[in-house]
Amino acid sequence: MSHIDNDNDVAKLSEMNAGDLLHYDYRPAQGSSSTSTHTKVSDTFRVVQWNIERGMRLDAIIADLKALNADFIALQELDINCRRSNYVNIPKELSRALQAELYFVCEFEELDSPCRSAQNAVGPQSQPSQDSAAGAGQKAHTGRHFHGNAILSRRATLREATSIPHTTTLHWDEEGLEFNEPRRGYRSALRVRVDAAERTSPQMPPLYIYCCHFEVFCGALTRVRQLADCMADMQRILRLSSVLSNANARQPAFLVAGDLNTMAHGIVRFSRRYANDRLRLLSVGETEACWLQRKVLSRNMQSFERGCCPFSYRYPAYLASRMHQLLFNNKWVWRYVYGFSDAELERMSNVKLCLYDIADKAKSITLDSRDYNGFVRGKFDWLLLSNLKPQPFRTQRGGAQPVDLAALEKCGSISSTSYAAKYLHSIQDGGQDDEARAAAIRPDEASYKYVPEDGYLLFNENYTASDHRGLVMTVSQNSGQPKEVYPEYGAPYTTCRAALGFFLLTRAIPVAAVAFVVYNRLRVAS
C-alpha cells in the first residue's frame, strides 16, 4: 500500500476486513526543523518488540517507546475504536506521538456482545452494559471495532507491507463465542521491507521485518506451523533473491519480532483451552520456549556449530546434542510422533535461514501473569535474527539517540536495581572503554557484559504499561551469509541448572523404568 491514511482513515475503516492494512506516516517532512527527519538507517540499528495489551495504558506506552529511541518497533494487540482502550485509534495515536511511519494489519473485527467481560469490552453492549448502572457513566461510541498488529519506523521508509495469513489457526468466526470474544477474522503476520536506499551502506541487502502474534487458544504444534508460515515466506524471498542476483554471496536479513505465546508448560498443560494437542504430555520437563529451541530452531543446525575437542568440558553436552538430533529429532519422529508431513518439515527448515534468539529460554521471563500468582510465566516474546548480530547498546547508530535511561526509571519501566539499569548505567556513565569498565566493577555484576546476556534488555519490568515486558535490542546487519553470524555453539537453550536438572530427570525416569522391567524379565527368564 503506497497511499497514506492520515486523513482518510474513516473511509478506510468503514470497509476494513481481516488482512487489510492501514498506513500512517507522521514523520516530519524533509527540511523540517525537527531532528527526526527521514534520515537513513545505519548498518547497526535498534529494534523493539512489545505486546502492548490493546493499548489500554496508552500514555505509559508512548512514554516508554519515546525513551527507547528505537529505529524499528514491532507491536502486538493494537485496538481501534474499542471501549477497553477508550475508543482510541491506537495505531494512529502511536504514529502521531512517535512521529513515525506505521503499518497496521487488521487481524480481527471485534464484535460487540453482552457475553464480553469488562476486560474485553469493545462497545456499549459489552459488560457492564452502558444501559446498566455500572456502565451508565461510560462514553458511548458507534462504529466498527478492530484489533491487530503493527510495525513502526521512526527514520527509514517501509516498503512492500504484506499480510501473511496463517495456514493453521483457530476459526474465530465460528469459535469466538466459546471464548466469550466474538470476532471475525484470522491470525496473520505482517511483513515489511527496508531497502538499501534507506541505509547508510548502499550495497546492504534488504532487511525484512516480521511482526507476529501466534494463537493462544491452541497447542504448541499449531504455533510451530504458524512459525513455519513465516519461515516459508523467508525461503521464498531467498529463492527469488538468488534468481534475481544470480549469486548467493549476499543474502537479505530477516528479523522476526513477536509474541509467540510459548506458554504450554507448567499448570497450562492441564488446560484444554490453552494446551490442546499431544505436546502437552510429550514436552513434560521443559518450557515450550526451550522445546521450540531444541526441536525446531536447532533442528539440522549441527553443521553450522563449532566442533568440540573430546577432552573439552563441553564434549559430553556436544555429544549428547548430536545423539539427540540423530535419534530423537529426525523426520520419522516428526512424522509419527508430532504428525508433520515432509512438506511441513521443509517449510520449517532453518538451515538456510539460521534464525536464532540469543536469550536464555528458561530464565528470560517476558510474562508473569498476576492472575495465576506466578504459575503462568515464561518467555512468550521473541526476537529471531537471521543475518543479524546483537551489538552493545553504546554502538554508534548513525547519529540516533541513545536510550533515555532517566525517563525509563522515572516512569517505572526499569527499576534502578535491575539488570537493564545496571547495564545501561555501565555504558553511559563515565565514558570509559569497555575493558576498563569491565575491570572497574565487581565480577558478579551482570552489567560488565559487552552485549547484554540475552542480547536484549527488558523494559516494563513491573508490568505498569502492559501485561508483557518489552524487548529492546541493538543489532548489526551482516552483508554476507547468515551462517557467518550464527552463534558458534548454536543458539542458547538454557543455563538454568534447575531447568536442566528437571529436564534430564524427566527423560531419565522413563528410560530407567523400561530398563528395570527388561532386567526383571530377563532375570525371571534365566
Q: Which of 56-60, 451-455, 487-491 has the highest mean pLDDT?
A: 56-60
Specify the CATH number of the domain 9-511.
Answer: 3.60.10.10
0.75 exceeded by the pTM?
yes
The answer on pLDDT for 101 being more than 70 is yes
Q: How far apart are CA 129 and CA 114, in angstroms?
A: 7
- Give me the residues paired with residue 184 across strands: 109
Q: pLDDT tier at 133 (50, 70, 90 boundaries)?
A: very low
For 446-469, what is the mean pLDDT? 85
Q: Which amino acid is it at 288? A: E
Q: What is the pLDDT of residue 430?
A: 54
Phi then psi for residue 100, to 5 deg, are -130, 160
**What is the DSSP pairing of strand 377-378 with strand 388-390?**
unpaired
| pLDDT-wise least confident of 88-102, 115-129, 309-323 | 309-323
The answer on pLDDT for 336 being more than 60 is yes
The answer on pLDDT for 136 being more than 70 is no
Mean of pLDDT over the chain: 89
The answer on pLDDT for 242 being more than 90 is no
DSSP state of 293: I
Q: Which amino acid is it at 59? A: D
- Give me the residues paired with residue 49 across strands: 74, 471
Q: How far apart are CA 477 and CA 433, in angstroms?
A: 23
Q: Report which secondary-structure segment, H or E, holds 98.
A: helix 90-98
Q: What is the pLDDT of residue 513?
A: 94
Q: What is the pLDDT of residue 38?
A: 67
**What one-character-per-residue DSSP string does 76-90 give?**
EEEEES-GGGTT-BH
The answer on pLDDT for 478 being more than 90 is yes
pLDDT tens digits along 404-452: 999 999 999 999 999 999 999 888 775 454 444 444 444 444 444 578 9
Whether the CB-CB separation of 286 and 499 falls below 8 Å is answered with: yes
Share of the chain above pLDDT 70, in %: 90
Q: What is the pLDDT of residue 508?
A: 92
Helix (H, G, I), strand (E, B) or coil at 346: helix
For 225-246, what is the mean pLDDT? 91
Q: What is the pLDDT of residue 33?
A: 46
Q: Which of 233-242, 392-401, 426-435 has the highest mean pLDDT?
A: 233-242
Q: What is the pLDDT of residue 248?
A: 59
Q: Which of 46-60, 134-148, 310-324 has the highest mean pLDDT?
A: 46-60
pLDDT tens digits along 270-292: 998 999 999 999 999 999 999 99
The answer on pLDDT for 341 being more than 90 is yes
Q: What is the pLDDT of residue 426?
A: 86
**217: how many CB neighbours lie within 10 A of its CB?**
20
Whether the CB-CB separation of 66 and 201 falls below 8 Å is answered with: no
**What one-character-per-residue DSSP string does 427-452 give?**
HHSTT--HHHHHHHS-TT-GGG-SS-
Q: How far is Cα of residue 489 from the mean position of the Cα atoms in its chain?
A: 22
Q: What is the pLDDT of residue 42?
A: 93
Q: Which of 163-167, 200-204, 446-450 has the highest mean pLDDT?
A: 163-167
Every domain of the chain and the residues it spans: 9-511
pLDDT tens digits along 492-502: 999 999 999 99
pLDDT tens digits along 379-388: 999 999 999 9
Q: What is the pLDDT of residue 30?
A: 62
Q: What is the pLDDT of residue 64?
A: 98
The answer on pLDDT for 306 being more than 80 is no
Q: What is the pLDDT of residue 500?
A: 93
For the record, the C-alpha cell of 101 comes out as 511511519
pLDDT tens digits along 11-23: 899 999 999 999 9
For the record, the C-alpha cell of 521 comes out as 524379565
Q: How far apart are CA 253 and CA 251, in angstroms?
A: 7
Residues in contact with 25: Cβ distance below 8 Å, sequence separation at least 6, in sequence order: 4, 6, 95, 100, 101, 102
Q: What is the pLDDT of residue 438?
A: 46
